[in-house]
Amino acid sequence: MTTRQGCHRIARSTLLGVLLGALAACATTDARHDFIGEAYASRPADAPVEVFREGLPTRPYVKTARLDVHLEKSGWVTSKFEDALPELKKQARQTGSDAIIEITEKQSHYLETMMYHVTAYGIRYTDAR
């Protein structure tokens, strides 16, 4: 390999690293929740949260909160449900919810920024199990 080929290889590697770093730096996540009625105590960070993408639980429950997660990524990079799920479960735990239901997904974009928004309801089971 000549010195010139080595310089080109280093330049390409450096440019690729800078571009990947720029794309990774251009992502944001916003999340919030609003209690519905009574506010419940948070659940532990590792507490299980059931996710009902379709249908509803058969156990009796009350809605505890509306959950919102908003993701934005630039460079035409899209988000999917699996990207929002950890934050959605975190919001559910913070509201004392056992499960997530009535999930709605919306996608949009502005120029090269791709936006993904998930809205759902946290629920708490009312039967003792």
Q: Is the pLDDT of residue 112 over 80?
A: yes
- What's the pLDDT tens digit per position in 35-61? 998 899 999 999 999 999 999 999 999
**What pLDDT, on the 0 to 100 scale, is given for residue 2?**
62
Please check whether residue 79 is in contact with residue 106, taking contact to mean a CB–CB distance below 8 angstroms: no
Q: How confident is the model at residue 77 (pLDDT cuts 50, 70, 90)?
A: confident
At residue 62, the pLDDT reads 97
CATH topology of domain 27-125: Translation Initiation Factor IF3 (3.30.110)
Domain boundaries, the chain: 27-125
Q: Which amino acid, 87?
A: E
Q: What is the DSSP code (8-state) at residue 37?
A: S
> Is the entire prediction scored with pTM above 0.85?
no
> Residue 25: what pLDDT?
47
Q: What is the pLDDT of residue 86?
A: 95
Q: What tens digit of pLDDT does each residue of 11-37 get? A: 566 655 544 544 454 888 888 899 998
Q: What DSSP string runs through 66-84?
A: EEEEEEEESSS----HHHH
Average confidence score pLDDT of the chain:
84
Q: How many residues does the chain have?
A: 129
